[in-house]
Structure formats: structure tokens, C-alpha cells
Structure 1
Amino acid sequence: MSYSTNLKREILGSENEKIEIIFAELFGILAAKGAVSESGIFFSTENVSFAKRVYSNLRKITKMDIQLKYIIKKRQLSSKIYKIILIPTRQNEKEYKNFIKKLFSYKNCKARNIEDEEKIAGIIRGAFLSCGYIKSPEKAYALDFFLDSDEFSIYLYNLFCEMGKKISKTEKKDKKIVYLRNSEDILDIIFLIGAVNAFFEFEEVTVNKEIRNKINRNMNWEIANETKKISASEKQIKMIKYIDKKIGLSELSNVLQETAKARLENEELSLQELADLMDISKSGVKNRFRRIETVYNDLLNY
């Protein structure tokens, strides 16, 4: 079972008691799917637990008649699509309009208002249950909302911007996609929508990945340094041997002879280690090798 599925299951396992939060969550669920119109509410899902949640929450906030039915997919007889339908009648047309007005009033919630925090959490939770997906943190950091409503995609994007999240949006086929790729932002959203267990699971994986990445970076740095050290040593030895073959090391000054012999006897040492061995500074060793290189280049051009 995917990480995202487990996260949704955790959310569906808890119930909302506050009417305001129920309204907020339903706004996120229905607006994300573009399931609300003047002619009624038409919502569908393959998740029976989610269908029950939407149905029971609607029952809590309205006395209008709500239908819950299912159809069986022709190609997959074991798979069902659950439909929730609310069609206003002439008698409750005004009640329905007031209901929709109340539902969409939650667009006015502001992230900077502390009193709106629970409502915003409800809206985002609803949107995630309706059309959200979080990839397993072991694979990548990705939280996506695949939205049917262009209007709600703009609203959700602006809401995340207001919250200070690194949010992006795009389109793919007939879907509007609002997405996050920053692990800290994703963690904040997971915690905000009430998936505490999923939060700790995501955080543990994130911490472990950061530790592994740090270890790998250190190893790569050490390997790069070792490679650089070996490359420099090989170049120095090549120059020294060439000088010895052409004119003999005895033609060098005493300090250069000392440096050349030290390098030939200690091929694996770095410049700093060679400097410590000779009891001089690293810059002193570098200067001596520059002078040896000058002699080498003069012999090549002779």
C-alpha cells in the first residue's frame, strides 16, 4: 500500500466535530473536483470510506435530501464508483443557494489570520482527500493536487503562497496541478491536515536520507581529494625522474634535491604531509615544486 494511501486512511480514521471545520473540509473536497453547480452537487469516488465521510458530513450540516449510490465498472466488476448527489427541489431552492453561499464563503479564509488556521487546515485536508497525492519520501519529495477546477487551482496556489510555501502549478491534459517539492513544506502540510503518524514516518525517512547524503558527500570529497593528491604526486615524480635522466638531480640546488628525494621516497604523501616531514610550510613545498617545474619545462624546451 502506498504512502499516500496510508496517509489518507489515517485522516479518514478521525472525525470532525466542529461544524465550521466540516464546512471547510467539504469546501476543499467539492471545490477541488468542481462538483458544485447551481443544479446540484455531483461527487464521485472509488474509496468507500471517503464516500461515507462526505455523505455523513453533508448530513451533519444540511437537512436536504442526499443520495448515496454506487455503480460497478464494466471493465472491472470488482470495482465500484460511489456517487453522492444533492439535487435541490423547488421547495428547498433557497436553502440550497444559502448552503452553497456558506460553503464558498470559506474562500475568504486567510493564512495570516490565526482564527482561520483550523478552517484552512480543513480546506487543504479536503482538497488532499479529494485529489491529492504524496509520493513516498524514500523515492522523492512530491506533493501534488490534481484539480478539476481552474478556479480552485488558482485559489489553492495563492493560499500556499500566502502561507509562504514554495508552490508551483502546471497543467496536464484536463487537470490543473498544484504541487510542492520541498520536504519541509510537505512536512508542514502533512502535520497541518492532521496525519501525525504519516508526519513522523516522512520526517524519519527525510532525516535518514539527509544523513546518507551527508556521508556520501563526505566520501566523495575524500575521494576527490585523494585523487587530486595522487595526480599531483604523479606529476611531480614524472618531472623529477625526467630531470634526473637529463641532467641528474645533483645539478639542482640543495633544497630542491631534498624536496625531490623526499617526494620519490614518499609518493603517497600530500603536500601538507610532505611539508610536515621536511619541517617547512606547505607554501614552502609548493614554491619548491614550482621551481622544479621551471627546470623541467626548460629541459623540455631546450
Structure 2
Amino acid sequence: MSFSSDVKEELVHLSGHELHCVVAELAAIICFSAKVSCSESSGYHIILETENIAVAKRFYLLLKKAFCFQPRVVVSQHESGKKSHFFTISAEGAANVLQVLKTAGLMNNRGQVDEDEYLTDNPVLQRTCCRRAFLRGAFLAAGSVTDPERNYHFEITCVDGREAEQLRDFMQFFGLDAKIVLRKKYYVVYLKEGSMISDALNIMEAHVAMMKFENIRIVKDVRNSVNRRVNCEAANINKTVSAARRQIEEIEYIRKTVGLDKLPENLRDVAYARLEEPDAALKELGEMLHPPVGKSGVNHRLRKLSQMAQQLKESGHI
């Protein structure tokens, strides 16, 4: 299974929540995945159609636990001949459906299904634990999370921009700085930062998945840190080798034109030291001199030699 499927499988098996949290999670699944329809003959219906058995199972169990009635279940195969099944869970009966919609805060005082402000003023979402449950339900219904071995990406798909904005604002309650992007005809609320995805998993109570995510993230961070350090050291070595090669070329030019014996003693000593030890660092060159000279002193003398070589090339004398 994918990492996202593992997370959902863990969430499906969570238990022991208070009834108000069960209702909040159920409200999220209805908002993000189920369809609420109404007919003159039979009133409101709630129908969830999904290929994900975990989501179907969770929706069924939440309805049964919170409202004590048996939802209707239909399992069918895809018309395209796919091996996977298609699950349809429906809540029928006017009294049952009205009870679900009113209890979940999805129906206003006028008896209308109100999906425009379901996150803003919904009385079901006043407790922090219920907000956690709602985010869990939204993820189960319309969310996914990428395997952290590949990259960091957590998302929940919304059918319209208003719903996406409400969900983004809702997630900010937990300090999750979510963004919104339009993908085809859907609005996607997403997280890209590893620490925030870890927090989201923790908020939803997917603790096993969070620990797995954190372990992978730590290994990747250490690996990236080591790679950066190795690259930095390699760049420094290349820089040192290039500088030493240039210094040797300049010293050789001085020796061929005017001779090193014409140089002041301090410059002559460092010139011979560089020719003898072409790969030595500045500190090592300084320790070879008598008396020893610090790194900055060696660097200053080599710059003087470079200036002399340049002057020789331009004017023919020092």
C-alpha cells in the first residue's frame, strides 16, 4: 500500500472518541465526499460513493455509532472491468437523514442544507477535539499525503474556492500554513513543509504514520546536511587547488623573467615554499617558513607575488 493508504488505514481503526467528535468527523466526510440530495417524495438523502474501502467502512461505522441506524451498503464492480470494487453507502429515511444533517450542523434554521458557512459558524466545531476529528474526516474523504521518501506534500481536494478558503482558515487554527492551488476543476488545499505535515498527522491522531514520517525526515535531513557539507568541502578544495595552481604559474613566471633571487627575502622564502609544496594550505606554508608566519601573513605575501607577476607582464619590470 502507499503511504497515504497506510495513513487512512490507521485513521479508520481509531476508536474511543466521544460522540461529539464522531459527529464532527462524520460532518467532514459528508461535506467533502458525500452527496446530499432532496426529492419531494422521500426528502433528503445522503450518499457516499467511493473506491476506498477504508473510507466506506469509516463512514458506515460513524453513522451507525452516532445515530444507531443501519446505512444501506451496495458493493459493485467497475464497468471498465477493473478488479477493484465500488462502494455506495447511503442514509435513507427522512427522519434519519434530517437527524444527521441537523446534528452535524449542516442544516440551517430554515431547514436548508447550508454548505456555504459550515466551517465558520458550525456549533459542532467549537471544541478543539472536534476540530481534530473534522480534519481527520476531511483527509479521509478527500485527502492524500505523498510518501516522504519522495517529497513532502499533503493535500485535501475541495469542489469550490469558497470551501477551500474555509478549510485553509480552519487549518490555520492549528498553526498549519496551508496554501490553495487550482488543479483542473478542483481547488486543492495543501502543505509542503515537512514539519507542518508531521503536525497535521499528529493532529489527526495518525501517530504511527507520524513517527514513520519523522524517521524518514530525520534521515533525509541528515543526508542532505552531509551532502551540503561534502559539497562545500569539495568546493573549498577546488578553490584551494585553483589558487595554488595560479600562484605557482605566477612564481614560475617571475623566476623565468627576473629570477627569484631578485625578490625580497620574505617573498623569496614563501615563493620557494609554494614551489616545494604545491598542494599545501596557507597555514602549512606558514609553518614551513623561518620564523613561522600566520595564514594571513602568507596570504599577504602571495598576493604581493601575484601583483609583481602582473606588473612584469604589463611593463616588463618590477
Rounded Cα–Cα distance in structure 1 between residues aligned with 2:58 and 2:101? 23
Residues 1:56 and 1:96: Cα distance change in structure 2 (over 3 Å): closer
C-alpha deviation, 1:77, in angstroms: 4.8
Structure 2 match to 1:270: 281
Letter in 1 for 2:308: V
Q: Distance in 1 between matches of 2:178 and 2:200?
A: 12
Contact between 1:240 and 1:260, CA under 8 Å: does it hold in 2?
yes
> 1:101 & 1:166 partners in 2: Cα distance?
26
Counterparts in 2 of 1:116 and 1:95: CA distance versus 1, 3 Å? closer
How much does 1:34 deviate?
5.7
TM-score by length of 1: 0.90
- Note closer, same or farther for the CA distance 1:64–1:282 as it changes in structure 2 (3 Å cut): same
Name the CA shift for 1:63/1:150 in 2 (closer, same or farther; >3 Å): farther
Corresponding residue for 2:227? 216
Corresponding residue for 1:52?
57
**Alignment match of 2:297 (pick from 281, 284, 287):** 284
Structure-2 change in CA distance of 1:60 and 1:185 (3 Å): same
Cα-Cα RMSD? 2.4
Residue 138 (structure 2) pairs with residue 132 (structure 1): no
Instruction: Return the offset for 1:212.
Output: 0.8
Count of matched residue positions in the alignment of Structure 1 and Structure 2: 298
- Picking from 309, 312, 315, the partner of 1:296 is 309
Letter in 1 for 2:306: E
Aligned residue for 2:264?
253
* 1:209-246 deviations in Å (ceiling 9; x for gaps): 11111111111111111111101100100000001011
Query: Which string of whole-angstrom CA distances, capped at 9 and with x for unpartnered residues, describes residues 103-123 of structure 1?
Result: 77665479xx9x722111101
Letter in 1 for 2:20: E
2 CA distance for matches of 1:2 and 1:86?
30
The answer for the alignment partner of 1:142 in structure 2 is 153
Offset at residue 102 of structure 1 (A): 5.9
- Select between 157-166 and 217-226 the one with higher mean Cα deviation: 157-166
Cα distance in 2 for residues equivalent to 1:201 and 1:93: 39
- Do the aligned partners of 1:66 and 1:86 also contact (CA within 8 Å) in 2? yes
Q: Residues 84, 140 of structure 1: CA spacing in aligned structure 2 closer, same or farther, 3 A cutoff? A: same
Hey, what does 2:12 align to over in structure 1? 12
Deviation, 1:94, is 5.7
In structure 2, do the counterparts of structure 1 residues 87 and 109 end up closer, same or farther at CA, with 3 Å as the change threshold? closer
Percent identity reads 28
Is the contact made by 1:144 and 1:177 (CA closer than 8 Å) also made in structure 2?
A: yes
Measured at CA, do residues 171 and 270 of structure 1 come closer, stay the same or move farther in structure 2, by a change above 3 Å? same
Q: Which of 253, 256, 259 is matched with 1:242 structurally?
A: 253
* 1:70 corresponds to: 75
Moved more, 10-19 or 34-43: 34-43
User: Whole-Å Cα distance in 2 between the matches of residues 96 and 126 of structure 1?
Assistant: 15
Deviation at 1:33, TM superposition (A): 2.4
More helix by share: 1
2: distance between equivalents of 1:206 and 1:287? 45
Indicate yes or no: 2:218 matched with 1:207. yes
1:173-212 mapped onto 2 (5 Å cutoff): 173-212=184-223
Structure 2 counterparts to residues 227-238 of structure 1, below 5 A: 227-238=238-249
Change in 2 beyond 3 A, CA 1:117/1:97: closer
> 5+ residue gaps in structure 1?
none
Greater RCO, 1 or 2 (C-alpha within 8 Å, sep 6+): 1
The residue identity in structure 2 corresponding to 1:4 is: S
Pair 16,47 (structure 1): closer, same or farther in 2 beyond 3 Å = farther
1:83 and 2:83 correspond: no
Kindly indicate whether the alpha-carbon contact (under 8 Å) linking 2:67 and 2:100 is maintained by their aligned counterparts in 1. no
Contact 1:24 1:106 in 2 (8 A): no
* Structure 2 alignment gaps of length 5 or more: 39-43, 108-114
Single out whichever of 42-51 and 21-30 deviates more from structure 2: 42-51
- Other-structure match for 1:155: 166
Asked if 2 retains the 8 angstrom alpha-carbon contact of 1:143 and 1:179, the reply is yes
**Cα pair distance change 1:97/1:6, threshold 3 Å:** closer
* CA displacement, residues 24-54 of structure 1 (integer Å, 9 cap, x when unaligned): 1111211122633554322111122321221
Retained in 1: the 8 A contact 2:159–2:187? yes
CA contact (8 A) 1:109 1:116 kept: no
Kept in 2, the 8 Å contact 1:147–1:176? The answer is: yes
